[in-house]
Amino acid sequence: MGQPDTPRVTIHEVARRAGVSHQTVSRYFRHNEGLKPETRRKIDLVVQELNYRPNLVARSMRTRRTNRLAIALPASAHLWPVRLLRAASAAAHAEGFQLEVVSVEGDAADRAARVLELAASGQVEGVLSLSPLALDPAGSPVPLVVTGDYDDHLRGVNELADASPVAEIIDYLAGLGHRVFLHIAGAQDFASARNRRRVYEDTIARRGLTSYSVAPGDWSPQSGYDAVRALPDGCGVTAVVAANDHVAMGAVRAALDRGWRVPGDLSVFGWDDEELGRFATPSLSTVAVDREVQGREAVARLIAEVRGEPAPEPPARSINRIIIRETAGPPPAA
């Protein structure tokens, strides 16, 4: 004999147990930053105790709203920005929305037409586009936020292409005594790779240091390995600034194969803070990129527009952070 269905917990029961009004609990699920910390804490405890989730279907029927948002991405052979999307989805869910990811084909004009069709479908309350669109967002039937964080081929641009940490890396290594550097570049059709090369060359010149060369690369470990294996004995290079962690790990392997100590003979920096780099031996010095914060902030902007609220003020912060691990150290003694 089956067990009787457990009655669904209502918002009124949550409110009663937390000692607040049901309107306050509704505000908690819509935009709880406006509530007092103690009020949020009391509702948090009850929500966790009862495992309560708002009834989005009932809310949609009552308000004629779908509680659904969409993220539009260009179709691309490159990997999707999974970390950004995961954070965006979590942020949307915390505010009572479902988030769908839609891949749209074509150039900026074609994608604009597809996005307008989606916006007019009645299926979503707002659309977030991570790449440029050939349209004025004000002409969309539902709120449309265009961040432009990625180009037509899902290559990072704007903040994602910021290369200023390269200068910090060189400054740090120069402070340890390094004077001769090698940069192993990424594929130059990426703005991020071009910017990292430019900042590398500018910083070397500004500090009066020596760049042995800029080795071409394609983001792969093989390109990092080949660049370090090709260095002639006595070249004087003691520090490598690699375009990403994959290239850096290839460079480390080549150095070890040559019998060089890392970092005793050669220091290496990567970029991206890939998980494997944290557990490598030696662990990889790198630049961590907080892609999650971009997803959360973009969704917050879209939800504010959907609700007719002021756009949240962007916090003063950088998404990049240098992490110094075992592959960075002083150069060998002269």
Q: Residue 232: what pLDDT?
A: 96
Is residue 300 assigned to a domain? Answer: no
**Mean pLDDT, residues 38-62:** 70
> At which of 154, 183, 215 does a domain end?
154
The angle at the Cα of 141, spanning 84 to 98, to the nearest 5 degrees, equals 35
**Mean pLDDT, residues 160-169:** 86
* Residue range 267-321, pLDDT digits in tens: 999 999 999 999 999 999 999 988 788 888 889 989 999 988 888 887 676 888 9
Q: Residue 6: what pLDDT?
A: 52
**Mean pLDDT, residues 31-38:** 66
Residues 133 and 243 occupy one common structural domain: no
* Residue range 179-205, pLDDT digits in tens: 999 999 999 888 888 989 999 999 999
Separation of CA 248 from chain center = 20
Is residue 213 assigned to a domain? Answer: yes
Query: Could you give the dihedral angle defined by the CA atoms of residues 152, 153, 156 and 159, in that order, rounded to the nearest 10 degrees?
Result: 0
Q: How many domains, in total, are found in the chain?
A: 3
Q: Residue 111: what pLDDT?
A: 83
Residues 120 and 211 occupy one common structural domain: no
Percentage of the chain beyond pLDDT 90 is 43
Question: Over 50: is that where the pLDDT of 123 sits?
Answer: yes
Residues 135 and 36 occupy one common structural domain: no
Query: Which residues form the domain of 122?
Result: 62-154
Contact 57, 68 (CB under 8 A): no
Q: For the whole model, what pTM was predicted?
A: 0.70
Per-state percent for the chain, helix, strand, coil, to nearest 5: 45, 15, 40
Residues 201 and 124 occupy one common structural domain: no
Is residue 231 assigned to a domain? Answer: yes
Residues 252 and 169 occupy one common structural domain: yes
Q: Residue 132: what pLDDT?
A: 77
Is residue 309 assigned to a domain? Answer: no
CATH number at residue 47: 1.10.260.40
Is residue 324 assigned to a domain? Answer: no
The residue among 146, 86, 91 whose CA lies nearest residue 115 is: 146
Q: Residue 253: what pLDDT?
A: 98
* Paired residues of 101 in beta bridges: 71
Q: Residue 4: what pLDDT?
A: 46
Question: Over 90: is that where the pLDDT of 176 sits?
Answer: yes
Q: Residue 212: what pLDDT?
A: 97
Residues 110 and 26 occupy one common structural domain: no
What sign for the dihedral angle of Cα 90, 288, 225, 150?
positive
Residues 171 and 283 occupy one common structural domain: yes
CATH number at residue 107: 3.40.50.2300
Residues 202 and 138 occupy one common structural domain: no
The residue among 334, 203, 234, 320 whose CA lies nearest residue 273 is: 320
The number of C-alpha atoms within 13 Å of 194 and in the hemisphere containing its C-beta is 8
Task: Quote the mean pLDDT of the chain.
Answer: 85
Contact 269, 288 (CB under 8 A): no
Q: Residue 331: what pLDDT?
A: 96
Is residue 331 assigned to a domain? Answer: no
Question: Over 70: is that where the pLDDT of 157 sits?
Answer: no
* Residue range 75-98, pLDDT digits in tens: 765 566 788 888 888 989 888 899
Is residue 120 assigned to a domain? Answer: yes
Strands 320-323 and 286-289: antiparallel
Residues 211 and 116 occupy one common structural domain: no
CA atoms of 8 and 50, how far apart (whole Å): 10
**Mean pLDDT, residues 145-158:** 63
What is the pLDDT confidence band of residue 120, given thresholds at 50, 70 and 90?
confident
Q: Residue 297: what pLDDT?
A: 87
Report residue 258 as tokens.
Answer: 């040559």
Q: Residue 79: what pLDDT?
A: 64
Residues 278 and 193 occupy one common structural domain: yes
Is residue 296 assigned to a domain? Answer: no
> At which of 133, 154, 175 does a domain end?
154
Residues 47 and 15 occupy one common structural domain: yes
Percentage of the chain beyond pLDDT 70 is 85
Q: Residue 177: what pLDDT?
A: 97
